[in-house]
Each structure stands twice: as structure tokens, then as C-alpha cells.
Structure 1
Amino acid sequence: MTTFLTNEALHQKTSQELTSLLYEACYDNLEKAMTTIDDKDFIQANEHLQKASDILHRLGAGINYEAGIVADQLEQVYNYMADKIFEANFKKDKTLIEEVLKLLTPIMSSWNEAMKKKRDVQPRVLKQKASAYESTSVYGD
């Protein structure tokens, strides 16, 4: 992520927006790790891969297990990706990082799409609730 957020801006984000930022930061760190491996800068690659791993653990800690089987499966995918990142870091193997990116990308895209759809639906739901209130209000026509 090239932009930095202030603490105040972070506190104003919803948990869904923070999750989206975590996905983006994980993705960016994985891409930077591949670049630094190409440059033979293994210390920087190590740092980027450790950050990506830390982010995955944070994402895993935020899973809502009330969501059922999907939450359990997501946890398994996060654990698999974390294992691959660890292995990639040990071997400095870009193909393992690419495998993680192939798993992370659709999850990140789906999350962002779901957030977008929720934002599109939310005003309509609020209007429906307001309309329902107004039609049953004592002060209505």
C-alpha cells in the first residue's frame, strides 16, 4: 500500500473496510517480496513475507465463526497460505508466493465486491425503513 493512513482515519474505518485494507497490504507485501527476491535482496524479501504472514494471522483472528462452514474453510485457506508463505520465505521461492497470490486474489476481490454491493443496498433499505415508519406514523397524512 503506497498511502499511509493516520490513526484517526483508521479509527473511522468499519471492520469491513479494515479487512479490505489488510487484504491489500498482504497482497502488496507478497508482490514486493517477489520483486526483492528478483533483486536478490533477501533481507527485504524476508521482511515483506513476515508482514504478509502477520496479516494473514490477523485476518484469521477476525473470522466470525458464527458464519458456519464458510468460516472454517476460510480459516483453512488462511492457514494453507501462511504455511506457503513460510516455505516461500525459507526457500525464497517465487512460485510459492504466486500460489498464495492466486488464492488471495479471488478472496480479496469477493470481499471488495460484497462491500460494494452492501453499500449499494444499504441506502435503499434505509429508505424502505423510513417509508414504513412514515406510513405508520401518527403524524402522517
Structure 2
Amino acid sequence: MTDFLTEELIYKKSPQEITSMLYEACIDNLEGAISALKKKDYFTSNKLLKKSNDILYRLDAGINYEAGIIADQLDALYDYMSEKLIEANIKKDVSAVEEVLKILTELSTSWSEALKNKSSVQPNTVRQKNLAYEKHILTMN
């Protein structure tokens, strides 16, 4: 995945598609970080682990807490993965990154399945609110 996405491309995606893209980007970064750690390329692994944490932060910021208990559990899971990556970066611990990669891969797979099974029809007002929210989140630096 490229290091940037054009605003036009982002605005054409639904919030669910953007979440899927963030999962994919984070997985790519984690796989790269694991490879770099195994090669003892700590500069690259640090960069990729920081990018992964940035993505987890954005995913966490995008949680819809009106979804109930699942939102709280997802928040806790994102926090856990973020803390695990910080620890892994400090200790240069490949197994910790692999654990986060496994969790994130399972989340991504589940998310993709949910998208396939969900009706693509959304009330227009909900879609507009989601787009406004995503524009705000994706422009945060």
C-alpha cells in the first residue's frame, strides 16, 4: 500500500472500506517490522511499528460507541495491541509483534466477512454523518 492516499480516493470510500484499508496497511507494516526485526534492522522496524501504532490510534478514534459492548471490547483490544507494539519496539521482541499481527489478521478477516454480508444500502443521513466523521479523522496529524 502506498504511503499516502489522495483526498479524492478517501472521500469515495465508505467508512467501512477505509477501516478495511487501515487494517491492510497495518498488517503490511507489521509484516515488514517482523522481517526487519529478524534482520536486526532496528531503524526500519521502529519506523514500521510507529506507523502501525498510528494506524491503531486512528482505528481506535473511529470506534462508534453507540454499537455497545463490542465497541468497548474493540477499544480495549486496540489499546492492548498498541501497548504490545510499544513494548515489542523497546525490547525488539518479534513474538510480541507476531501476536499483534495474528489478532489484527483475525479482526481484518472478520471485518471483511462482515462487509460482504452487510447490505450496502445505508440511509443517506447516516452515510453523510459517517463521511463527515471520516474526513475529520483522516485529516488528523
With the length of structure 2 as denominator, give the TM-score of the two structures. Answer: 0.80
Query: How far has the Cα of 1:101 moved from its partner?
Result: 1.1
Query: How far has the Cα of 1:105 moved from its partner?
Result: 1.2
1:59 match: 59
Query: How far has the Cα of 1:97 moved from its partner?
Result: 0.4
Within 5 Å, which residues of 2 pair with 1:33-112?
33-112=33-112
Find the aligned partners of 1:71 and 1:122 in 2 and give their Cα distance: 21
Query: How far has the Cα of 1:117 moved from its partner?
Result: 1.3
Q: Given residue 79 of structure 1, which amino acid in structure 2 is its aligned partner?
A: D
Larger radius of gyration: 1
Unaligned runs of 5+ in 1: 126-141
Shift >6 Å, 4+ stretches: none
Q: Among all aligned residue pairs of Structure 1 and Structure 2, give the percentage whose two residues are the same amino acid.
A: 55
Unaligned runs of 5+ in 2: 123-141
Q: Number of residues paired by the alignment? A: 122
Q: CA RMSD in A?
A: 1.8
Q: For residues 27-57 of structure 1, what are the alpha-carbon distances to aligned partners after superposition, in whole Å with 9 as ceiling and x for unaligned?
A: 1100000111122210110000000001001
Q: Higher relative contact order at CA 8 Å, sep ≥6: structure 1 or structure 2? A: 2
With the length of structure 1 as denominator, give the TM-score of the two structures. Answer: 0.80
